[in-house]
Amino acid sequence: MSCHPRLVRAVLVATLLVITLLPAAAREESSQEYSLVELGASGQQPKPIRQGPPVYPTALKKAGQPGEAVIEFFVDAKGDVQLPRIVSSTATEFGYAAVQAVATWRFEPPKRNRKRTVVRVRGPVEFCKERAEAEPAP
């Protein structure tokens, strides 16, 4: 398993979904309905502003164990990550570390048809032995 930021970004982009806000005619003005729409040519993928790497879990770092966690999260209309959750992970510790890292990420506000929107992102966060060896010990 290798850590290639472009590959990770490509996987994230490939799995993007856009949530479009549609007015609810039968409801109050303040309420809105959400529908899930796949990101197409008219949508703009969120561009990362800050994507810090996760902290390699200490117990797994000592063992030199590589792994990954698949994380799903929303990028809101301001570009902030909301509700990151673990979809799967090769070890529980990788999942927790990945969620903590993703929660600090920031993106340019996503847009669809030139309007700010919310997107759902799902993709892997990889933990490589090389990165674990490069990090200073706690």
Domain ranges of the chain: 5-134
Distance (Å, whole) CA 72 – CA 82: 10
Q: Which fold has domain 5-134?
A: TolA/TonB C-terminal domain (3.30.2420)
The residue whose two tokens read 């398993």 is: 1
Of 104 and 42, the structure prediction assigns the larger pLDDT to 104
pLDDT tens digit sequence for 73-126: 999 999 999 999 999 999 999 999 999 999 999 999 988 888 888 999 999 999
Q: How many residues does the chain have?
A: 138
**How does DSSP classify residue 80?**
B
